[in-house]
Structure formats: C-alpha cells, structure tokens
Amino acid sequence: MEATDRLSEIQQLFGNIMNKSEVLTKDYMRLIDSVVKTGTIPPKYKELIFVALSLTEKCEWCLSYHLKLAIENGVTEDELIEAAFVSFLMAGTPALMQSIKMEEFYKELKGQQ
C-alpha cells in the first residue's frame, strides 16, 4: 500500500465520519488544532514526535499523514532516521522495522514536491 493510498483512506474515513457525526468530528478536529497549532514546540518537532509515535504504534495511516506534514515542515531524512531510532529505543525492533514503510512513504511523498 502506498502513502497516497493511506492518505486517501484517511480523507475518506473522516468524510464518512463527518457525515455521520459532525459535532463529534468538529470536537475532535478542535482538539487536534489545539495540540498541533498552539504551544511552544515548533510544528517541525511536533511532526517528528508524531512520526516516532506512528512507528511505535505501527500505524501506517498515521505515518503517511504525519510524514507528509513533517516533509512540509522541513524535516530531513536524517532527522526521520533519528526519530526511528528513538522509536526503536521505546518500542523495540518491531517499531524500527516500521522504518521500512517510513522510507518507502518518504520517497513517494518527497517525490511529489
């Protein structure tokens, strides 16, 4: 599965959820905005945190979404590799193995810029 496929699935899911429960979805989006768009940690570093957590939790949807935002916020491939090793320290080899997907998604998404 490609990163763009995962991104499309996320968009479809949220479109369906929004149609079924607009109030809950708006509350969820407001929570996301309050965490992502406010505070003292710059967006680039928040996205690195999200990438590391996505690897730790083995969530390809999360990984594709936050990798795209990380690239848009100027995260480098070297920073992503370092984040993958942080994930490895916290969650072991299965989290590190997710960096295979991260590398595939990175090449795909970086190529779209």
Residues 1-33 pLDDT 10s? 799 999 999 999 989 988 898 888 889 889 999
Q: How far apart are CA 82 and CA 76, in angstroms?
A: 10
* Whole-prediction pTM: 0.88
Architecture of domain 3-111 in this structure: Up-down Bundle (1.20)
The domain segmentation of the chain, as residue ranges, is: 3-111
Residues 66-78 pLDDT 10s? 999 999 999 999 9
Q: How confident is the model at residue 38 (pLDDT cuts 50, 70, 90)?
A: confident
